[in-house]
Amino acid sequence: MKAAGQNVKVWDKEFAPFISAQQIEERIEQLARKIEQQYAETEQPIVILGILNGSFRFASDLVKALNIPLEISFVKLQSYSGTSSTGQVTEMIGLDLDLAGRAVLIVEDIVDSGRTLYHFLPSLKAKNCLSVGLCSLLVKPDAMQYKLPIDFAGFAVPNDFLLGYGLDYDKRGRELNDIYKAID
């Protein structure tokens, strides 16, 4: 993939350009059209459920690109510290909507091992949703440890540490408009 920009340094790591803001914008438009087709016949507005903190930029841009009735909510799940997964999923901020009989589309910034969603999905499905779909801007197929049905995927990426467009390294770098990968 072609990326624009200069290398950036965050804390002790250097990152090289990987996916440009323009590529992200174009892919979001494509995903929005596919999502609209999938949910065109849904009677109630779909619920876009962003997983904080990383998905906030992607969820915002995706919602702006969608032309269907929707509601948006967020949950905060945490499983990372620094560049490594802790192996535990913690719900920091809970869901505030009644999802019974509603079509729900989970929006994630990145799915790598799949552990976070694997542990979150059963509690979500217990809320008697009409359907639960998954949209992720980035997917790391080589890192997947859990089989997850990803209905809408933006980019398949290698198992590198990524930064920018909502992705962080110890709370830094989310504000970057492009996505960068760590230089080994």
Which residues are part of the catalytic machinery? 112
Looking at the DSSP assignment, which residues form a beta bridge with residue 132?
104
Phi/psi class of residue 41: alpha, beta or left (left: φ > 0; alpha: ψ in -120 to 50)? alpha
Distance CA 84, CA 167 (A): 13
User: Pick from 94, 21, 81, 84: which is nearest to 51 by CA?
Assistant: 94
DSSP 8-state code for residue 178: S
Residue 182 parent element (H or E): strand 179-182
Strands (E), 3-159: 8-10, 13-19, 46-52, 70-81, 84-93, 103-111, 131-139, 152-156
For the record, the structure tokens of 66 come out as 């969608």
